[in-house]
Amino acid sequence: MAQVVGQQILRDPALFYWILFPITVVMILTGVLRHYATLLLQSAPKPLDSKAIREQKNYLHGINLRTNANQIPLSSFTSRKNYLVAAYGAGSFLKDPDAKNKAPANPMSDPNGMDQMMNMMKGNMMMIVPQTVIMGWINAFFSGFVIMKLPFPLTIRFKSMLQSGVMTKDMDVRWVSSLSWYFLCLFGLRSVFTFILGNENSADQTMAQVQQMNPQQNTQQLFGPGQDPAKMYSAEAENLEVMVQHEFVLDGIEDRILATV
Amino acid sequence: MSVDDVWQLRSVGRPQRLRDSSISSARPPPTVNRTAHPLSPILFTDPPPTMSLATYLSRFKSVSGSPTPSESLSLSQLAPSILNLTITDTPEQWTLYESLLLTTLRTGDDTSARLVLQRLSDRFGNSNARVMALQGIYDEATSSNHAQLEEVLKNYDEVLKEDPTNFPITKRRITLLHHLNKKTEAIAALTALLDLNPTDGECWSQLAQYYFEVSMFSQAIYCLEEVLLILPNAYNIHARLGEISCIAAETSGAGKEVEKLEASLRWYLRAVELCDGYLRGYYGVKMVTARLLQSKYSSATRTIPEEKVNKLNSVATVHLNDIVTGFEKNKKGFTGYNPAEVAAAKELLEADSSSS
């Protein structure tokens, strides 16, 4: 397709004041509003009860022992290892030791998991509702407007990105339609929000997506719903048991010190 | 000054910190402390009236975990100007408030402490675990007799009945038990807490201290090893292990002594390896090597040959000499040591030179 060089379209300057500018402002304001609404809707994570804390911390204890085993003498390590392997195997740190042989509970019926899912849903709703409304608004009022011209040339590939809602085949890619401007704002305002609201804002949807990907990172829960602590414990016991290599860091320290002088 | 631990205050009179029960951060910080030289006339320097929050915070941070009375006093005198700053509701501000609360309690400025505590509880609510612990510290510090302390203890018990996972209050209760001379109860409560949360290094180091006080050395060593599993680079814990094994060597039966002294020497060496310029470490190396070189051990079987022990002794002497002279001349890089420790090192060096 031959591009018309210097394609000219006469635009009403009012397009800038009545479409481009309002869309941008509305997008920023919704972002800010969304941030505060999310803050309001967020329920504080429920504090864990002592049994759950015990279950998690004793698991971490085993991991600590495994990673820093070389810091303590072999005899100390062996006694700890034997104790932990026996305790892990017997399941004495589990929240409910009877559940050890049962099938893992359905995450949907787990009240903790429900809580988490409820939070996730709230977050999702905060994204979906305003986006639907604004997109509907733009489609109803501004569809089909060409509102600005980019100051640089682009390849044809960008046409679908920059000119959605305008079905003109021969128009230069540099022209941007209102709907596309909306999308650009939706994905591109991140740094603006960081500037306005600080680093950990919930206005930007990419952040929310990242959080959805690994929901366990921000919560206190070490064992997510659906994970079976009993299995994780026995796996850790196995890890400890197969550790054969132990190099005490204090071995030969006198030579190391003398070598540095 | 670290404000992270609730241990650091004793209950009656003016709180003070148990010696060396703190844990250094994982990264060995420089022993150099250029901001507050201990001998500088801190008392007579008036702070300029308009200091920023950050300046105040850095002044508090420049003081060690166990401040001397004069340091505490100079910090406590900052109270009016800090309280006059506008409340900005930043984390730094509240950290500063916490440190200020502890300092004012140390120096007996109870009115300022009350005000600071009031602001903290206004912001975070009375039911916040940390604020509750700070309130407890205030109550303990301001109570004047035994009966009042028992009252505070009863309060803690009630709080814990409602919420057994309130760790700050649990820690306060243990400290108070220990202070009221119920040492076995304190140790039992602390072991129970550690069963619940075995990844808290602070608890382990405190338990080690309690065991040490009742001369249960092997238990104390076990606890300190547990700390090393959590913070593998805590050089002061290594030195503490050296100290305790050295003391344990004295009480152990014949034949085991050399073995324990060598273990102690190795712990000290590790401390020195992790942090050069660590005075306690070199002091320990020198002391233990000197003991190992005593003639009564000459026939004993040892794993470190005598010539190496000799060499290590002279290495420690050189370093200690450096530190002592550097400190006395106020040389750059040698400030910030505890004057008492330097004096002890000097004494050791003099005793050594006069005997040889």
CA distances from B354 to B279, B311, B350 (A): 21, 19, 6
Nearest-10 Cα torsion for B104, B110, B112, B118: 110
**Computed from CA positions of residues B156, B158, B161, B166, in that sequence, does the dihedral angle turn out positive or negative?**
negative
Q: Do B198 and A255 touch (CB under 8 A)?
A: no
Q: Do A54 and B315 touch (CB under 8 A)?
A: no
**Residue B253 pLDDT > 60, yes or no?**
yes
CA distances from A10 to A13, A160, A226, B115, B266 (A): 9, 22, 61, 68, 84
Please, is B65 exposed, middle or buried when counting C-beta atoms within 10 Å of its C-beta (0-12, 13-18, 19+)? middle
The string of DSSP codes covering B42-55 is GGGPPPPS---HHH
Most confident of the ranges B44-58, B91-105, B222-236 = B222-236
Count Cβ atoms below 10 Å from residue A204 Cβ, excluding itself.
21
| Confidence at B27, pLDDT banded by 50, 70, 90 | very low
**Among all residues of chain B, which has the CA nearest to that of A68?**
B229
The Cα–Cα gap between B100 and B234 comes to: 27
- Compare CB distances from B225 to A76, A249, A255 and report the shortest one's residue: A76
Q: Which domain holds residue A22?
A: 14-260
Report if residue A3 sits inside a domain. no
Query: Which residues from chain A sit within 8 angstroms of residue B265, using beta carbons?
Result: 254
> Structural domain tally of chain A?
1
Segment B93-119 shows an average pLDDT of: 90
Query: Which residues from chain A sit within 8 angstroms of residue B273, using beta carbons?
Result: 253, 256-257
ipTM score for this prediction: 0.75
- SS3 call for A147: strand
Encode pLDDT of B125-158 as tens digits.
888 888 999 999 999 999 888 999 999 999 999 9
Nearest to residue A196, comparing CAs of A39, A29, A71? A29
Query: Which residues from chain A sit within 8 angstroms of residue B225, using beta carbons?
Result: 71-73, 76
Q: Are B231 and B248 in contact (CB under 8 A)?
A: no
In chain B, where are the structural domains located? 1-156, 261-356
| Confidence at A110, pLDDT banded by 50, 70, 90 | low
Q: Do A50 and B165 touch (CB under 8 A)?
A: yes
B330 backbone φψ class: left, alpha, beta (φ>0; ψ -120 to 50): left
H/E stretch holding A149 reads strand A146-149
Report if residue A61 sits inside a domain. yes
Q: How many CB pairs under 8 A join A and B?
A: 69
Which residue did the predictor score with more confidence, A254 or B43?
Answer: A254
Query: Which residues from chain B sit within 8 angstroms of residue A50, using beta carbons?
Result: 164-165, 196
The Cα–Cα gap between B216 and B228 comes to: 19
| Confidence at B30, pLDDT banded by 50, 70, 90 | very low
Q: A152 CA to chain B: closest CA distance, Å?
A: 44
- The H-assigned helical ranges of B252-338 are 257-274, 279-292, 306-328
Encode pLDDT of A112-149 as tens digits.
667 777 878 888 888 888 889 998 998 888 888 888 88
H/E stretch holding A176 reads strand A175-177
Report if residue A7 sits inside a domain. no
The Cα–Cα gap between B22 and B73 comes to: 22
Q: Do B230 and A76 touch (CB under 8 A)?
A: no
Report if residue A225 sits inside a domain. yes
Count Cβ atoms below 10 Å from residue B318 Cβ, excluding itself.
12
The Cα–Cα gap between B252 and B259 comes to: 10
Query: Which residues from chain B sit within 8 angstroms of residue A53, using beta carbons?
Result: 165, 196-197
The Cα–Cα gap between B176 and B174 comes to: 5
Encode pLDDT of A156-178 as tens digits.
888 888 888 787 888 888 888 88
**pLDDT given at position B67:** 77
Q: Are B133 and B2 in contact (CB under 8 A)?
A: no
The Cα–Cα gap between B255 and A237 comes to: 37
Please, is A86 exposed, middle or buried when counting C-beta atoms within 10 Å of its C-beta (0-12, 13-18, 19+)? exposed
Contacts of A121 (CB under 8 A, 6+ apart): none
Residues in chain B: 356
Residues in chain A: 261
